[in-house]
Structure 1
Amino acid sequence: MALRLLPFAPANMSRPLLSESLQFLRLSRFLPITPIATSGFLQPVSISLNLPSLLSDLWDSVLRAVPKKKTSHMKKRHRQMAGKALKDVKSLNKCPGCGQIKRAHLLCPNCVKGRI
């Protein structure tokens, strides 16, 4: 994908080499141009990016990233009615009457069952 976005990258360029060249291009914006850097083999190379074609390629991929078919009623219902994960009960106490474990701020079911 990255090879296709860069018009100056050859087709047989390896991914590590491509990533290094992209990193150099990002960092080269912040480097000052000095006479030493412009002489010899370090002369900056002008890169012309064809932005309209680059944007059209991106826009085509955005337009293709849509659902191909309508989600069926059955799939929607399965998604809505799926079993939800239960939350852990963290507020547990011992009942002072019978010693059984009960939820805090609620009556002990064991004691209530014995009185009915």
Structure 2
Amino acid sequence: MKFSAVTLLTLATGILAAPVAEANYDVSYSSYEAPKAPKPHYEKPKPKPHHEKPKHEYPAPKPHHEKPKPKPHPKPTYKAPKPAPKPHKPEYTKPKTEKPKPAPKPEYKAPTYQAPHY
């Protein structure tokens, strides 16, 4: 790292001019406070806002009111509904197509062969 002369001079004078703690014999050991452990991030206090939020005054709640329950009336009896009639489907026979018959083969007669007599 390269530092400029001004930066090195300010660092050196800052270190040399830093206040040095001197031993004071008048101070007792009981006034010494040990350094406290750092708090985890979830225990940090929330920062206070720069302005206070206006406090809203809400109207008083209404007294509790229950809806009156209706008196039970006997349920009327109804006849069971009839099932809906199914529409009549006419019978339909599927037309059958006949396969064309193959042409009849000519009858084959084996030729008669007479063997020669020697």
TM-score using structure 2 length: 0.20
**Higher RCO (Cα < 8 Å, 6 or more apart):** 1
Q: Which has the higher strand share?
A: 1
Q: For the pair shown, which has the larger CA radius of gyration, 1 or 2? A: 2
Q: Which has the higher helix share?
A: 1
